[in-house]
């Protein structure tokens, strides 16, 4: 796992006020990216977070670092959602709920993955691989439970499901109601994941 950017270079935890600013900037950046895409204005993000530009740049010296932090935060939230769903009694519904969360993440972070790939040489080269592994592991655990309960076909892999989610999100990314369309298409597609009855 890459070092936590929420600590100082000497690895000391942030002061409480710095931590609050960091969290506000991250939340504001997530909202701005959902509305405007990965090229959202840094000045607008600082304004939404109610901090000065200097404070934003102190925490995130480049746009790339800010995008990486937003992406990591979103992936960690997806993994936490998977952990919360791991004990759900209906394993098929738990898997579908998590895949829906992945779809909403993809639709609401317009251009984030592309921007990260474009600037990969300027940022954390391991971030994409680390986050990909985290998502695969989180989804694999839910899929294994669904398979064990006969709620998913044995030949379906987590890679298949994530590819399906990605394809759906690409198809609706420019639609004003993309999240709703993604949910509907994912629900339709997941009927093919369940074993045939009889």
In this predicted model, what pLDDT tens digit does every residue of 75-114 receive, in sequence order? 899 999 999 999 999 999 999 999 999 988 888 776 666 6
**Residue 123: band (very low, low, confident or very high) from pLDDT cuts 50, 70, 90:** low
User: What pLDDT does residue 3 have?
Assistant: 42
Structure tokens at 74: 């979103």
User: What whole-number distance in Å separates Cα of residue 37 and Cα of residue 30?
Assistant: 9
The radius of gyration of the chain's CA atoms, rounded to the nearest angstrom, is 18
Cα-Cα end-to-end distance for the chain:
45
Q: Is the pLDDT of residue 9 over 60?
A: no
User: What whole-number distance in Å separates Cα of residue 3 and Cα of residue 129?
Assistant: 15
pLDDT in tens, 14-41: 788 889 999 999 999 988 988 888 888 9
Tell me what the pLDDT averaged over the chain comes to: 83
User: What whole-number distance in Å separates Cα of residue 3 and Cα of residue 153?
Assistant: 38
pLDDT in tens, 167-193: 888 888 777 787 788 888 888 888 876
Q: How far is CA 17 from the centre of its chain?
A: 26
User: What whole-number distance in Å separates Cα of residue 66 and Cα of residue 122?
Assistant: 12
User: What pLDDT does residue 12 have?
Assistant: 63
pLDDT in tens, 34-56: 888 888 899 999 999 999 999 99
Structure tokens at 122: 């300027």
Q: How far is CA 189 from the centre of its chain?
A: 21
pTM of this structure: 0.76
User: What whole-number distance in Å separates Cα of residue 40 and Cα of residue 47?
Assistant: 12
CATH top-level class of 62-190: mainly alpha
Structure tokens at 150: 């006969």
Residue owning tokens 């200097």? 54
Q: Is the pLDDT of residue 143 over 90?
A: yes
């Amino acid at each position: 796992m890459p070092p936590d950017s929420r600590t100082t270079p000497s690895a000391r935890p942030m002061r409480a006020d710095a931590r609050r600013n960091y969290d506000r900037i991250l939340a504001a950046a997530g909202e701005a990216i959902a509305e405007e895409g990965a090229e959202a204005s840094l000045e607008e993000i600082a304004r939404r977070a109610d901090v000065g530009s200097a404070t934003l740049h102190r925490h995130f010296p480049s746009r790339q670092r800010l995008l990486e932090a937003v992406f990591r935060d979103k992936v960690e939230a997806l993994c936490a959602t998977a952990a919360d769903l791991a004990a759900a009694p209906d394993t098929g519904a738990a898997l579908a709920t998590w895949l829906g969360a992945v779809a909403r993440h993809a639709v609401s972070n317009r251009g984030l993955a592309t921007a990260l790939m474009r600037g990969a040489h300027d940022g954390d080269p391991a971030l994409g691989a680390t986050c990909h592994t985290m998502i695969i592991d989180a989804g694999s655990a839910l899929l294994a439970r669904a398979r064990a309960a006969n709620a998913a076909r044995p030949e379906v892999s987590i890679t298949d499901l994530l590819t399906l989610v990605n394809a759906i999100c690409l198809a609706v990314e420019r639609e004003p109601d993309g999240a709703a369309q993604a949910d509907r298409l994912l629900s339709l597609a997941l009927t093919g994941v369940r074993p045939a009855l009889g």
